[in-house]
Amino acid sequence: MTVSESAAEAELEVEAELLAGLESGVTTAGAPEERFDVEAPFRGTKIGDLPACGPDDVEVAFERARQGQEAWERRSVAERAEVFKRYHDLVIENCEELLDIVQLESGKARRHAYEEVLDVAMTARHYAYRAEDYLESEEREGALPGLTETEVHHHPVGVVGMITPWNYPLSLAVSDAIPALLAGNSVVIKPAEQTSYTALKAIELLREAGLPRDVFRVVTGHGKVIGEPLVAESDFVCFTGSTETGRIVASQAGEHLTKCSMELGGKNPGIVCDDADVDRAVEGLIRGCFTNAGQLCISIERLYVHEDVYGQFVEAFVDAIEGLHVGAGYDHDVDVGSLISEEQLEKVTDHVEEAKAQGATVLTGGTARPDLGPYFYEPTVLTDVDESMTLCANETFGPVVAVYEWSDEDDVIERANDSDYGLNASIWTEDHERGREMATQIETGTVNVNEGYAAAWASLDAPMGGMKNSGIGRRHGDEGIMKYTESQTVSVQKHLGMTNPPGVPHWLYAKLMNKTLKIQRHIPGMR
């Protein structure tokens, strides 16, 4: 056996040890008839296989989740929160193992996998310490001051069905589930086929933190087979993925009158103003455009640069990109990793090749890198992109950005908003007030001033989601937990009723009420 063969065999043994036992977290009705392969994008080779669940498995998962939810709901919010405080610590303590599995399945750079660990830990901590306040019953103004007492209570919806994508397999497998669970719900999740091991590991740690097994159930397999049964069984559906698939899921949820939230695609704009710190903008937009090889729904794919700094910015931007370390590695020195699959590589290649054929100019990149691995693609910058090209308006979801020049602020805002999507935007200016004012005119759910995406994403107390075709509902903040609840209003009427008292004719009651309403309008606190 050669040295290289020995090293490869040792690597496979480490991988097998990483994934050992995780399949036991999959819920099945019996021995699965079919299985599907999971591969390592760095090599394009199989690392394992998992059950391809069917509708019967989904039914069993929901039965068990409903049984578990009843006892879980009876626990106080404070008791539930203790689980997630422990989970916060376990995620940090198991950081390296989590990073290894995320990289193994997704092919992303380790520094980008680490963002997922940070997100999960921070989300667990945020909701663990705030859930009681978010979910606390509230006193509201009654119909008749002094005569009506009204409270609002927040009850769990029941079982939340989640369908999660491959691009952020750790973060999106649990960060949306955490507030759902803290609200007293149980969860059934179908993770992406490409990255199911990551989800299973994340949920294994949740059980280690004290979450009852039946409160979080996992079904693995193909969305076309188990997606619709999962939606049909759910009391609430949380979906993250493409706009195309989101429409299908929303339609299925609508048939059952099931509420849902969705974060979908984006074709996100970045705007570099004439007063921007060019060096800072270059550094931030490198991350904003090429984190996870551009496979990030909030990454920047359209970049508008003011004519006064256009030449300086583009030169520095291209130089910085050409200095990036692209490759397959399990250390923190790699800047850009692999695309997830052959399918994704073909999509990125098709977008760029079509644009080139129709007159776009490639300033850097523009080619696959099979020397690095089967699905690698160079970080790419294009100019002269117009509406005839697919990548002009359609999400590429790869390490590709088109750069445009602008001179008029009203015009660039109009161009930034000229999209069916509305997920994220980035503005670069040294005048923070100018940045805030411009941001309010951008039709996206989040806008980052002097950052690509991380500032808004990591502001966990504020809602995050999309406008237009980029989604329904919000994650994070109070909206991120309250969506998993049913609000109930309880009003107690004391003494007099809500109509004319005995012995008082209705005409006199109406006259007195009209006078009362006029008086109330002028009394603060009674309006």
With H, G, I as helix, E, B as strand and everything else as coil, classify residue 276. Answer: coil
Does residue 491 form part of some domain?
A: no
Does residue 3 form part of some domain?
A: no
Q: Are residues 278 and 333 part of one domain?
A: yes
pLDDT at 479: 98
Does residue 471 form part of some domain?
A: no
Angle of helix 55-74 relative to helix 223-233, nearest 10 degrees, comes to 40
- Angstrom CA distances, 2 to 9, 13, 228, stand at 11, 17, 50
Does residue 314 form part of some domain?
A: yes
Residues 416-437: tens digit of each pLDDT: 999 999 999 999 999 999 999 9
27-31, 384-388, 445-449, range with the lowest pLDDT: 27-31
DSSP bridge pairs for 449? 427
Nearest partner of 130 among 67, 189, 81, 63, judged by Cα: 81
Q: Are residues 245 and 103 part of one domain?
A: yes
Does residue 275 form part of some domain?
A: yes
Residues 168-207: tens digit of each pLDDT: 999 999 999 999 999 999 999 999 999 999 999 999 999 9
Q: Tell me how far apart the alpha carbons of residues 382 and 100 are, in angstroms, rounded to a whole number.
A: 33
- Angstrom CA distances, 207 to 204, 217, 234, stand at 5, 11, 22
Q: Reply yes or no on whether the pLDDT at 302 is more than 50.
A: yes
Q: Tell me how far apart the alpha carbons of residues 321 and 435 are, in angstroms, rounded to a whole number.
A: 26
Neighbour-count burial for 422-459, b at 16+ CB within 10 Å, e otherwise? bbbbbbbbeeeeebeebbeebbbbbbbbbbbbbebbbe
Q: Are residues 279 and 245 part of one domain?
A: no
Contact at 8 Å (CB) between 205 and 183? no
Average pLDDT, the chain: 96
Which of the residues 297, 301, 392, 395 is marked catalytic?
Answer: 297
For the chain, the domain total comes to 3
Backbone angle region of 366, left / alpha / beta, with phi > 0 → left and psi within -120 to 50 → alpha: left
Q: Are residues 300 and 240 part of one domain?
A: no
Domain of 320: which CATH number?
3.40.309.10
Q: Can you give 105-133 as a three-state secondary structure string?
A: HHCCCHHHHHHHHHHHHHHHHHHHHHHHH
Q: Are residues 313 and 248 part of one domain?
A: no
Q: Tell me how far apart the alpha carbons of residues 272 and 316 are, in angstroms, rounded to a whole number.
A: 13
Does residue 468 form part of some domain?
A: no
Q: Are residues 253 and 273 part of one domain?
A: no
Residues 230-266: tens digit of each pLDDT: 999 999 999 999 999 999 999 999 999 999 999 999 9
Q: Tell me how far apart the alpha carbons of residues 184 and 156 are, in angstroms, rounded to a whole number.
A: 5
Does residue 493 form part of some domain?
A: no
Q: Tell me how far apart the alpha carbons of residues 473 and 476 are, in angstroms, rounded to a whole number.
A: 10
Does residue 490 form part of some domain?
A: no
Q: Reply yes or no on whether the pLDDT at 1 is more than 50.
A: no
Give the amino acid at 192: A
Q: For the whole model, what pTM was predicted?
A: 0.95
Contact at 8 Å (CB) between 438 and 413? yes
Q: Reply yes or no on whether the pLDDT at 446 is more than 60.
A: yes
5-9, 12-16, 485-489, range with the lowest pLDDT: 5-9
Backbone angle region of 115, left / alpha / beta, with phi > 0 → left and psi within -120 to 50 → alpha: alpha
Helical ranges in 256-373 per DSSP H: 278-290, 310-322, 342-357
Q: Are residues 277 and 256 part of one domain?
A: no
pLDDT at 144: 82
Q: Are residues 109 and 247 part of one domain?
A: yes
Element (H, E) at 140: strand 138-140
Kindly tell me the burial class for residue 6, based on how many C-beta atoms sit within 10 Å of its own C-beta (0-12, 13-18, 19 or more): exposed
Q: Are residues 284 and 258 part of one domain?
A: no
Q: Are residues 58 and 122 part of one domain?
A: yes
Q: Reply yes or no on whether the pLDDT at 521 is more than 60.
A: yes
Q: Reply yes or no on whether the pLDDT at 23 is more than 90.
A: yes
pLDDT at 143: 85
Element (H, E) at 518: helix 506-520
Q: Reply yes or no on whether the pLDDT at 19 is more than 60.
A: yes
Q: Are residues 60 and 96 part of one domain?
A: yes
pLDDT band at 146 (very low <50, low <70, confident <90, very high): confident
Which of the residues 105, 115, 263, 301 is marked catalytic?
Answer: 263
Mean pLDDT of 277-300: 98
* Domain that residue 418 falls in: 268-461
Higher pLDDT, 500 or 271: 271
In the residue annotation, 95 being an active-site residue is answered as no
Domain of 86: which CATH number?
3.40.605.10
Q: Tell me how far apart the alpha carbons of residues 93 and 98 are, in angstroms, rounded to a whole number.
A: 10
How many other C-beta atoms are found inside a 10 Å radius of the C-beta of residue 108?
A: 30
With H, G, I as helix, E, B as strand and everything else as coil, classify residue 26. Answer: strand
pLDDT band at 331 (very low <50, low <70, confident <90, very high): very high
Q: Are residues 209 and 347 part of one domain?
A: no
In the residue annotation, 297 being an active-site residue is answered as yes
pLDDT at 3: 40
